[in-house]
Structure 1
Amino acid sequence: MMSTKVLGLGPSLRKPAFAPRLVRNQVVARNLVVKRSVQTQSLPSTAAVEILDKQRLRRPSSPHFTIYQPQLTWLGSIANRATGGALSALLYGFSIAYLVAPGTFDSTHVIEFVAGLPDVVKYAGKALLAAPFTFHAFNGLRHLSWDLGKFLSLKAAYATGYVVIGASAVSTVALTLYGN
């Protein structure tokens, strides 16, 4: 009993113990007898799907693109995801093609194929590869700086966004023109 005094639990433990037996029995009986005021009915699974479809039609949709002004921060984030997905799809596509037909997609055949293309197609292809690669690389560095707690103010976020766009443009041109 000493520990209950120290913790301040003495009165709260004694109260139910010394309550009249009639009161204790009524509380126990009230807790044992559960009254259901809601009636339920069993439905087939198709009816449940129909109910959910009706609820989804009445649910409001998010207006995000229709009401918000485009901002550099979320445009950069969307472009970063898109370029990452595109570069991943290209890498996986080429890797699977190499596994399926290694004689066709080895480096000598690819170099011979590219060498036979017109210069305009080569430059366009290099630009199409360089632009997402450079943007994703520079924007990835921007995100890493955010993870380190740098450039988190609105002004700094916009400044780094413009730096990423500028660096991507310059490096895309440099990579496109290099080697020819």
Structure 2
Amino acid sequence: MSSMRLFQLGLRRAAAPGLRAQPARSMVQRRLATSQADSAEILAKQRLNRPVSPHLSIYKPQITWYGSGLNRLTAVILSGSLYLFGFAYLAAPYTGWHLETQSMVAAVAAWPVAVKVALKTFFAWPFFYHSFNGLRHLAWDVGIGFKNTQVIRTGWTAVGVTAVSALYYTFLA
């Protein structure tokens, strides 16, 4: 027997003391398939009896996984926007686009106020959330705030400070 097999048998014997009196061969279930179709049928039946791994639908939503998802989403929004603008700026001389500061300021000044507010909000919220949640993660890196109550409190604090900062930046700055 291989060492891995011996280790597994030892674990089974330790976990179920009533099985010690049985020989090792009786602990292993064997099914012999006579053909390819039989083996596929046996596997299909075995899959029905296997436990289903945990899924997101069985967990109660918590600030920790909302925060993790939002942190990743805000990173994609911010970095994706930066890359898109960077590539557009590099391609501008070849495409005839005018992305220099004066022409962009003139173009944005001509937009309706609702569009300006929407664009500022679209970039302010991810920027502030990613910044404040990043500070939270930096605190975790030095070992501060690992208790469940602190994690929940700092998660909601990041959301609240983000909302206040984004609204201030969008409407007052």
TM range (shorter): 0.5 to 0.7
From 106, 125, 128, the equivalent of 1:134 is: 128
CA-CA distance at 1:162 after TM superposition: 1.1
From 155, 161, 165, the equivalent of 1:167 is: 161
Q: Which runs of 5+ in 2 are unaligned?
A: 1-39
Distance in 2 (CA, whole Å) between partners of 1:170 and 1:68 is 30
- The two structures have a TM-score, normalised by structure 1, of 0.64
CA RMSD after TM alignment: 2.1
- Partner letter of residue 145 of structure 2? F
Question: Which of structures 1 and 2 has the bigger CA Rg?
Answer: 1
Distance in 1 (CA, whole Å) between partners of 2:103 and 2:51 is 54
Distance in 2 (CA, whole Å) between partners of 1:145 and 1:72 is 17
Report the 3-state secondary structure (helix = DSSP H, G, I; strand = E; otherwise coil) of the residue aligned with 1:142: helix
Q: Give 1:108-119 correspondences, 5 Å limit.
A: 108-119=102-113
Report the 3-state secondary structure (helix = DSSP H, G, I; strand = E; otherwise coil) of the residue aligned with 1:101: helix
Aligned to 1:157: 151
For 1:27-70, what per-residue CA distance to the aligned partner results, in whole angstroms no more than 9, with x for missing partners? xxxxxxxxxxxxxxxxxxxxxxxx9xx99xx6987443111111
Percent identical among aligned pairs is: 44
Q: Determine which structure has greater relative contact order: mean sequence separation of CA pairs < 8 Å that are 6+ residues apart, divided by chain length.
A: 2
From 73, 77, 87, the equivalent of 1:86 is: 77
Q: Which runs of 5+ in 1 are unaligned?
A: 1-50
- The two structures have a TM-score, normalised by structure 2, of 0.66
Aligned to 1:120: 114
CA-CA distance at 1:104 after TM superposition: 1.7
- Partner letter of residue 91 of structure 2? V
Runs ≥4 residues deviating over 6 A: none
Aligned to 1:104: 98
- Partner letter of residue 143 of structure 1? H
How many corresponding residue pairs? 125
